[in-house]
Structure 1
């Protein structure tokens, strides 16, 4: 049995085909251009295979309510050309296989949840944050993704402004200084005039951003109480995560008993940002077996 996966990002689409044991048999990457051009490439790719199902995890916001006329759409995204795009419909018409549809971070969260289960870790719940071009988070509790009215938008929560960062207004086009507006990758250039890869880890901007991410992790800890919080995306590295753990410990101030922070605030178990691919395969398989 072959299952397809689409991780639809604002910069690139990662398409893959795997089996029920989560072994990847083939993979292709396409740049995210216009909806018509990108989806045509996706359809042509998957037509090479005899698929049983397809799992899709997309940048958002997206409509996940199956009773909505806009189910399967990317909705109010700032991504040029993609606002109000029918994503699932053209694929369903062309490929005619069962499809699951969720956010990119939900796909990643589910992939990490599955990997923890396969590794016999006691993980009943986890939250996955991606911090890259944008910021988002997905939550899995007892095998179920959180959200029914819509998917969570945990990248757009507000955090307390760092005293050394009050002159930066933030870059979110909707909320200015929400979490995404303060810690996504493009904020480096907005603050320093340099891309993040050129900003030394000794620069104070990393400590400011670590404080914001730690605040978000603390909110998640206090409200959801997950077994662990996973951080992925292009901005995250182990040295930056060490700064986040330090800031988190200071903010928590001993209030709750948690696992050791190097086991609680962690990098993805699935390397090369492949969590969403495994999550998509698992969600598609789950829908076939429902």
Structure 2
């Protein structure tokens, strides 16, 4: 008989924290959504949630967090577990893991929100059956998660492919970019706030035939070309609020143009399969965080889990 497992997980995003406790089968026992405000308020509410969960359900076997960043993920670093030079106001140099330890007594794992979402996609979405793929999210920022050999890749720290330099798209020379660190890096040119700064309205309000989408597709294709040449993934999954349905054919066409026929193996790839939308559901990041907690406790991935949507927020919680 399998010993009981209680798993804690957080998907820590720039607008909300999704927190949950699950059993070994991925069944959610208790959950909450917390608005991302100040570190003291948000992390205080999160630690209180897990203290209450311990009272009601027992001690956690393992706990994992998938967070926005940048993060310090090197256990030997003096600031390990911190959110470091983030552009999110008030969250720079916050001891995320240390603060959560005050309310959670369990082995802890910390990774990026995009790596956790990639784990969720591997279990239930567009990454199923693949050992190596990239997960890209284009939203408030641009994040890239990597699964290599079936596990999240970090190295000395996590990748920051959202801040690479990219060639200027045709017709976009005048826009300065909004990244507070690099100006016109990829994120500074192509994240959601950059589109709003350039065009005066949120991306989702732009007509489908607006020239903004061709410029945006050029930048995302530049990222995909770099990932293709450096990582050689089996697939690149691209999601986030900026990735409206009309973007996928544009990105695929722009990527083909950028690859320019180089490398016979790439010429045979079906771009509709290679550049894919995420399909694991809106809570893929929380799924991935809970899966990492399961792996911490058992040294295995929870391949027996059967649901792609473990997090179901009731209306009262969602509106809170």
SS of corresponding position for 1:238: coil
The offset of 1:235, in angstroms, is: 1.1
Query: In the alignment, which residue of structure 2 is the partner of 1:35?
Result: 39
Q: Deviations over 1:95-153 (max 9, x none)?
A: 11111101111111122123369x9x431101001110000101011123222211100
Radius of gyration: which is bigger?
A: 2
Residue 220 of structure 1 is aligned with which of 214, 219, 227?
A: 227
How far apart in 2 are the matches of 1:21 and 1:185? 36
**Superposition CA RMSD, Å:** 1.7
Residue 52 of structure 1 is aligned with which of 47, 56, 61?
A: 61
Query: In the alignment, which residue of structure 1 is the partner of 2:10?
Result: 6
How far apart in 2 are the matches of 1:130 and 1:24? 25
SS of corresponding position for 1:94: coil
Q: State the TM-score, normalizing by the size of structure 2.
A: 0.85
Query: In the alignment, which residue of structure 1 is the partner of 2:248?
Result: 241
Q: After superposition, where does 1:60-209 map in structure 2 within 5 Å?
A: 60-115=69-124, 121-209=128-216
Contact 2:13 2:36 in 1 (8 A): yes
Rate the CA distance shift 1:159–1:123 in 2: closer, same or farther, 3 A. same
Q: State the TM-score, normalizing by the size of structure 1.
A: 0.94
Query: In the alignment, which residue of structure 1 is the partner of 2:284?
Result: 275
**Number of residues of Structure 1 aligned to a counterpart in Structure 2:** 287
SS of corresponding position for 2:201: coil
How far apart in 1 are the matches of 2:253 and 2:201? 25
Structure 2: gaps of 5 or more residues = 300-320
Q: Deviations over 1:188-220 (max 9, x none)?
A: 221111111211121101110101001100110
SS of corresponding position for 2:171: helix
Q: Is the counterpart of residue 285 in structure 1 residue 294 in structure 2?
A: yes
Query: In the alignment, which residue of structure 1 is the partner of 2:306?
Result: none
Residue 16 of structure 1 is aligned with which of 20, 28, 33?
A: 20
Contact 1:268 1:275 in 2 (8 A): no
Contact 1:127 1:140 in 2 (8 A): yes
How far apart in 1 are the matches of 2:243 and 2:83? 26
Question: Which deviates more, 205-214 or 84-93?
Answer: 84-93
